[in-house]
């Protein structure tokens, strides 16, 4: 599917990519530029200047910072790919739902046509602290699957998106990526697949083993973690 389907030189649209130095955000910037969009790339720290992209810097956890940087801007489409990992899911909800809410509030009155929110597989398997635990639907997952009965910042973000869409009149879409692999600018942390290494590291091992088997069935083929986790579970 072409992101800019229908866009021409006479109807050039402006995309605001939030989290533009992340894995998904940077790929979106590349794709949008190739398709002829004008791109506003928003991140805490701007990357190198390039044709077709104008960098904006803001602290997404500060409503005042976001409002100030977006005050002169008029994007027609918004792609929200940013998130901030916190110690607990309640903190994730407060911070990540707040970031989206504040950003959409800063765009109020700017005639935004569409907002695309990127979430992910944890919509179906639960947050980090309850990953693949309890009852959940089997694969393949479907959009109409009910939410899990546990706190999840993805759900809180969707609620903020829907409330803003109702108030401001833009259309919306939610994109639940299965697995995102790539390089995020300025992020040197290693990939950790929740539930696989947990099978080795958790004292009881039980839920971690269940998560490891499910993650393996879903296609998480990180060789070292898979080998250590599943071998432990078979003992």
Mark whether 95 and 208 lie in a shared domain: no
Residue 154 inside a domain? The answer is: yes
Q: Model confidence over 155-199: pLDDT tens digits?
A: 999 999 999 999 999 999 999 988 777 766 555 444 444 443 443
For 176, residues 6+ apart whose C-beta sits below 8 A from its C-beta are: 119, 120, 121, 123, 124, 154
In a domain, 139, yes or no: yes
* CATH number for the domain that contains residue 31: 3.40.50.720
With respect to residue 4, please indicate whether it lies within any of the assigned structural domains. Answer: no
Catalytic one among 12, 110, 131, 154? Answer: 154
> What angle in degrees, to the nearest 10, is found between the helix axes of 63-70 and 98-106?
30
- Residues 79, 117 within the same domain: yes
Please give the tally of structural domains in the chain: 2
Q: Which domain holds residue 221?
A: 198-233
| CA separation for the pair 195, 133 (Å, rounded) | 9
Q: State the catalytic residue, choosing from 34, 122, 124, 155.
A: 122
pLDDT 10s digits, 69-123: 999 999 999 999 999 999 999 999 999 999 999 999 999 999 999 999 999 989 9
pLDDT of residue 179: 79
33 domain-assigned:
yes
Catalytic site includes residue 34:
no
Write down the pLDDT at residue 181.
76
Has 122 been annotated as catalytic? yes
| Residues 169, 210 share a domain | no
């Amino acid at each position: 599917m072409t992101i800019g389907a229908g866009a021409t030189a006479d109807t050039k649209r402006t995309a605001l990519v939030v989290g533009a130095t992340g894995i998904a955000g940077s790929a979106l910037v590349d794709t949008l530029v190739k398709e002829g969009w004008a791109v506003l790339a928003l991140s805490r720290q701007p990357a190198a200047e390039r044709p077709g992209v104008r960098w904006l810097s803001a602290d997404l956890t500060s409503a005042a910072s976001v409002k100030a940087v977006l005050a002169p801007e008029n994007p027609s489409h918004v792609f929200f790919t940013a998130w901030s990992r916190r110690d607990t899911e309640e903190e994730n909800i407060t911070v990540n739902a707040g970031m989206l809410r504040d950003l959409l509030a800063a765009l109020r009155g700017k005639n935004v046509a569409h907002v695309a929110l990127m979430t992910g597989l944890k919509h179906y398997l639960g947050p980090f602290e309850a990953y693949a635990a309890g009852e959940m639907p089997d694969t393949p997952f479907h959009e109409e699957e009910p939410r899990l009965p546990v706190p999840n910042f993805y759900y809180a973000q969707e609620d903020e998106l829907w409330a803003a869409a109702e108030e401001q009149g833009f259309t919306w879409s939610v994109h639940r990526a299965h697995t995102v692999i790539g390089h995020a600018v300025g992020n040197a942390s290693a990939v950790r697949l929740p539930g696989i290494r947990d099978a080795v590291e958790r004292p009881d091992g039980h839920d971690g083993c269940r998560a490891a088997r499910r993650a393996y069935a879903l296609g998480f083929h990180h060789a070292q973690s898979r080998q250590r986790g599943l071998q432990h579970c078979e003992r």
